[in-house]
Amino acid sequence: MPRKRVNPQEPPRKRNRTGCNKCRSRKVRCDEQKPICGQCSAKGFDCETSIKLKWEQDYTSAGRAFGRAGLWSKRAAEKSDASSPCIHVTEDEVSWIQIPLITSYSFVNATVGNVEQLTTLENLALEATPVLDVVRINDRDDTSSTASLSPWLSARQPAFLPRQHSVPSALPMLPDLPSPMHSNLLSYYLEKICPITVPSSVNKSPFANLILPFSITSSPAVLEALLALAACHRSKKDIAFRATSLRLGDNVLRTLRGRLGTEDPLKVAMDPETLVIMMILCQYEIINECDKRWVVHLKGARDLIRVRRNAQLHLTAGQSSNELVEFSEKYFAFQDVIGRTACGEEPIFGSDFWTSQGEDTDAWLGCSAGLVSILCEITELSRQHRSRPGICLLPDFQYQAASLERRLCSLRQRVFDEEDDLLQLSAELKRLAAELYLHCALNGATPAMPLVIGHIQQILRLVSVLLEHGVLAGLSWPLFVAAVELDPMEDLEWAERQDLPDDVPNYARPFVLYTLDRLGGSNAIANIAKTRSVIERVWLIRSHDEISDSQADGLEKGQNDWERYVAPLCGGLSLA
């Protein structure tokens, strides 16, 4: 029987567990005054309050009662099996989760500064003004990836890939240069840079069979520009070449300025050397910092090409010079197109550089001219949507988007050499990336849609195959398009673990970081550091919007997913 209270008029005293540590250890009542209770103040003790967590499983495994369990039971001696949280299993029933492979490239850090920048980035995303001044083969029948978002299309048409060939010209012997350093850089350019500018081992790079012979036989200035490019590329891994890169680049600029200041401007414009030097300097800036300086060369080349075409003169240096000029123009126009897919700005070069009927796969482009022509039209239509969001509701806009989608589905990219499977895969990779870009930029696709997920899986599979064969050229843009459209709420498993080597992640985000690390470690002809930086910022903003109401603000203004999350961050980004 419980004891009777001394004074029935007083309220019952209840034990509490919120007293200070000293009062509880002394088993005296604590008045819980702050910052020091009465008992500790009177005795001169340090008054500290803390909470100690106790786990029932620890008590059960030690054979002790947990808390007051069993104390008030009439059958306290009998242990109830139902109350025990300890589950006894045999070793055969235990399965261990595999620890994921974590490497240096796996970390995506978000600092306080990153979070503070989100407000600014949200404002950029909500503005319509420009920010920049400057494997289908196996998965063709996958319903999740072949459905159409366009109201004008109900099904996609199958396409096949016949194959074309170009015979590379023989290279002359390398000249004897006055400096051993220069000879070393020229060998580096030929052996290290030229092979990674094309996805094909069958077709040689135009940087080797066009630019190098021209520099050796006709233009010391172009040769010096190539040496500057080689030094810049090599300085990414060896800082000792940094000073050489800057000195050679400065000499090339000084030579070009001297010609422009002393010679007839039209004569300088008509000289193939001028355009080639500008192309090499543009590539130099892309490798170096990939800021707005390479866009300056792009705009300068546009003006130069315009002068050449307006003059309506023909080159007298022969067919090789004509091919050299055509490649230089194609280089600048392709850089413009691929760059505009990300940022959505006004074109620097028009669509007249590309023929919509071009089905032959170009070794340097890694795709056909017809695909680039379609990309030009997609970027222009996307730019119109960005300036007038309501245009997507017009039948004419929907018809144009559906027409472009139909052309992409039925696009034929011929590769003549049947043994050149890598060039064929590269062309298909870019076609899939173009489809994904079209759906996101024109049809309002979002990362959670099965259509987007299916395309991302196919793109990452092809990237994995090409990477396994040592292909580095042309991977940046497809990888970027897939990476920025990953769903922040789901870690996409793009392949089965057993189908991949141990060091290759089978989840999308780790695989993107793995691929970027491979490209950066192999010194691909691109600025991988800036590409990764933009991808990480897109991931950060998407994750931030999932826990805030910012996403609704953008949707209210009629922005699609690409315009809100990708375009505002891509100023000055080169992905070609």
DSSP calls for 331-371: HHHHHHHHHHHHH----SS-GGGS-TT--BEETTTTEEHHH
* Token pair in block for residue 316: 């007298």
How do beta strands 361-362 and 367-368 pair? Answer: antiparallel
Cα gap 311→313, rounded to integer Å? 5
By residue range, what is the domain housing residue 26?
A: 19-65
By the 8 A CB rule, do 358 and 323 touch? Answer: no
* Token pair in block for residue 92: 């055969």
Cα gap 507→504, rounded to integer Å? 9
**363 and 274 together in one domain:** yes
By the 8 A CB rule, do 188 and 230 touch? Answer: yes
**47 and 121 together in one domain:** no
Whether omega before 35 lies within 30 degrees of 0, making that bond cis, reads: yes
* Token pair in block for residue 58: 């620890």
Cα gap 428→430, rounded to integer Å? 5
Domain boundary among 65, 80, 103: 65
By the 8 A CB rule, do 276 and 328 touch? Answer: yes
Cα gap 575→525, rounded to integer Å? 10
Cα gap 289→264, rounded to integer Å? 33
Q: Enter the pTM of the model.
A: 0.73
**36 and 120 together in one domain:** no
The CB density around residue 61, as the number of other CB atoms within 10 Å, is 11
**164 and 55 together in one domain:** no
**25 and 166 together in one domain:** no
Does residue 368 sit within a domain? yes
Does residue 142 sit within a domain? yes
Does residue 164 sit within a domain? yes
**443 and 505 together in one domain:** yes
Q: Give pLDDT tens digits along the chain (576 positions).
A: 566 666 777 776 666 778 898 998 888 888 889 889 999 999 999 999 888 788 888 888 888 887 766 555 555 445 444 444 555 667 777 777 777 778 878 787 666 666 666 555 555 444 433 333 333 334 333 433 334 454 434 333 333 333 333 333 334 455 667 778 888 899 999 988 998 888 877 778 899 989 999 988 888 899 999 999 999 999 988 899 999 999 999 999 999 888 888 888 888 888 888 999 999 999 998 888 777 788 888 888 888 888 887 775 554 444 444 788 889 988 998 988 998 888 877 777 776 777 766 788 888 998 998 999 999 999 999 988 888 888 888 889 899 999 999 999 999 898 887 778 899 999 999 999 999 999 999 998 999 999 999 999 999 999 999 999 988 888 999 999 999 999 988 888 888 888 888 888 888 999 999 999 999 887 778 888 889 999 999 998 888 888 776 555 555 567 888 888 998 888 878 887
In a 3-state reduction of DSSP, which class is residue 277? helix
* 41 contact partners, CB below 8 Å, separation of at least 6: 33, 47
CA atoms within 13 A on the CB side of 167: 2
**325 and 195 together in one domain:** yes
Cα gap 443→234, rounded to integer Å? 42
The letter for the amino acid at 491 is D
**368 and 513 together in one domain:** yes
In this structure, what DSSP letter does residue 416 have?
A: E
Cα gap 441→379, rounded to integer Å? 8
Does residue 78 sit within a domain? no
Tally of domains within the chain: 2
The pLDDT of residue 112 is 65
* 192 contact partners, CB below 8 Å, separation of at least 6: 230, 233, 234, 523
By the 8 A CB rule, do 372 and 365 touch? Answer: yes
Cα gap 488→313, rounded to integer Å? 55
Q: What is the CATH number of the domain that holds 34?
A: 4.10.240.10
Rg (CA), the chain: 33
Does residue 92 sit within a domain? no
Cα gap 385→560, rounded to integer Å? 9
* Token pair in block for residue 496: 């089965």
List b or e across 441-474, with b for residues whose CB sees 16 or more CB atoms inside 10 angstroms.
Answer: bbbbbbbebebbbbbbbbbbbbbbebbeeebbbb
**52 and 127 together in one domain:** no
**61 and 130 together in one domain:** no
Does residue 306 sit within a domain? yes
**38 and 147 together in one domain:** no
* Token pair in block for residue 525: 């002809």
The CB density around residue 266, as the number of other CB atoms within 10 Å, is 13
Smallest Cα–Cα separation from 281: which of 330, 343, 238, 331? Answer: 331
By the 8 A CB rule, do 284 and 305 touch? Answer: no
The pLDDT of residue 463 is 95
Cα gap 234→241, rounded to integer Å? 7
Dihedral of CA 344/348/350/353: which sign? negative
* 576 contact partners, CB below 8 Å, separation of at least 6: 334, 335, 337, 338, 339, 476, 477, 526
Does residue 3 sit within a domain? no
In a 3-state reduction of DSSP, which class is residue 414? strand
The pLDDT of residue 456 is 96
Smallest Cα–Cα separation from 386: which of 503, 559, 173, 160? Answer: 559
Does residue 96 sit within a domain? no
In a 3-state reduction of DSSP, which class is residue 31? coil
**56 and 179 together in one domain:** no
| Count of positions (residues) in the chain | 576
* Token pair in block for residue 558: 């009629």
Smallest Cα–Cα separation from 134: which of 347, 385, 398? Answer: 347
